[in-house]
Structure 1
C-alpha cells in the first residue's frame, strides 16, 4: 500500500497512474460503503456509477486535499457515504413511493420483537413501510435517515434544519407511534 503522501504526489504528477493506484488500494472500500447504502434500492450499474463518481470527485479536487486533516482512506469513506446519500436524494420521489427496507438497521426491527413468526419478513417489511409513510414528514424522513442510512442525529438535524435533540426526541416518539400503529396489525 502506497502512503497518502506518495499517492497524492502521484495524483498531481501522473494523473492516470495516481488514479490507478488509488483505485487499486481503495476501490473495495468505496464499493462496500456504496453497496451497503444502496444495494437494496439501486441496480449494480447505479452503484458502480456512484463508486466512479467518488473517485472522480477526489480526482477533480485533488489540489484541495490536506493530509493534515485526515487520510485519503477516510476522505474516500466520507465522500462515498455522501455520494450515496446524494444519489438517494436525487431519486427520492421514486424511492418514497417504494421504500425497500430489507437492509434497514435491525435495531428498528428489534423494537417490534413481538412480531408473530407467522408473518413473513416480506409482509413485515411492507407493513413497516406503510407505517413509516403514515408518520408523514419530517418524521418518516427522520426514521429512514436514522435507521436506513444510519445517519447521526447531528447530520439529520443539519439536513432538516432541526436541533439534534429534537431529532432524538422525534425519533423516540416515532418509534412509539410505530409500535402503536403496528400493534393491531402484527
Structure 2
C-alpha cells in the first residue's frame, strides 16, 4: 500500500518509518521555512535543523493526538513547528518574546487548563480552515509562515493595503467567534 497524504497519519500511528519519510518529504520544506522565519537572527543555522528534527520527532511520538476532523496533517505539523520554533527562539534569545494566541501547555497546568488550551487551538484551526482558500492562504502565509506583508500581497496578487484589510477582517472574525464561544461555555 502506497503512502499518500490521506493515509500518512494512519501509517504514522502504526509507526511506519516510510510514512515518516513521506511526511518529511511532503512537508519538510514548508516546516523548515517556517522555523527559519521564526528563528531569523537568533542562534546558528543548525538550530533551524534541530528544530525541524524536533517537530518530526514530536509528530512521530504524538501522532495519536492528531484529529483529522479538526484540520489536516499539514496544519497540525505547522502548528507543532510554530510552537517548537517559538520555544527555540525564547531559549536562544535569553528572554521572553510576545506570547502566541494560545500558549504551549506547561507542565504545571491542571488537566482542565490543558483541555481548555487544546480546545482553543482546535477552535482556531477549525475557524481558519473555514476561510475561503484565498483568505486561508493569506492567513497562513502571514501568521504561520511569518511572511512579510509585501510577500503576502505579492503572492496573492493584492496590494499591501488590501492584504492588510483582509487580514484585519479575518482577525476580527476570529476574535468575535472565539469570544462568542467563551460566552457560550463560560
Decide which structure has the larger Cα Rg and report it: 1
TM-score if structure 1 supplies the norm length?
Answer: 0.48
TM-score if structure 2 supplies the norm length?
Answer: 0.48
